[in-house]
Amino acid sequence: MITIVDYGMGNLASVSNAIKRYTDEAVVSSMPDDIKKTDKLILPGVGAFKDAYDEIDRRGLINPILDFIKSGKPFLGVCLGLQLLFTKSFEDGEHKGLDVIKGDVISFQKDKGVKIPHMGWNNLKPEGSNCPLLKGVAEQAYMYFVHSYYVVPEDTSVIVTTTDYGSKFCSMIWKDNIYAMQFHPEKSQEQGLKIIKNFVSL
């Protein structure tokens, strides 16, 4: 079973539809018990960091999510679901995250001559990792992004891909059973759907 976490801010329909291309065993749920017993977990997200963290906390989902990650079973974070894994975010102040991956979430800088948010198609640059989610995905594949903030891991070895937007930023990470990306694979057509398929097949 694959469970997609519903905390009221995720791009649930598009993620669910993408997963259901490859398996019938997928549910959208905000129930802690569903998170505890699932085989794979997806944390999607669109919106503000603090609002998302607070809503996950209000629904009693923080410990179930952390316990699931510690179990070693496959975990996928998408967009805000990537950012929430980090120690803290500087979006509209300073706010704590789940602290699964050490590092910060920071804003693009307007002085780099780029429009904020970063919205649209941009390509991935592999950083030397043999990430199983990228099996069959074209090198320099284009993915769909919508974000104003990006992650800065303390341990750069977790970085799977980077993307250039004014400057280079981390667009995908992998650490043990944790896979997460800033772009939306469910909205990235054939190449993005390969990532979804690879996660389902883990």
Catalytic residue list: 79, 184, 186
β-sheet bridge partners, residue 8: none
Cα–Cα dist 183/144, whole Å: 6
Cα–Cα distance list, 28 to 6, 98, 144, 166 (Å): 6, 21, 23, 36
**Dihedral through CA 189, CA 125, CA 135, CA 154, nearest 10?**
-110
Q: From CA 68, how far away is CA 70, in angstroms rounded?
A: 5
Asked if 61 and 30 count as a contact pair (C-beta separation under 8 A), the reply is yes
Q: Is the dihedral of CA 140, 46, 41, 14 positive or negative?
A: negative
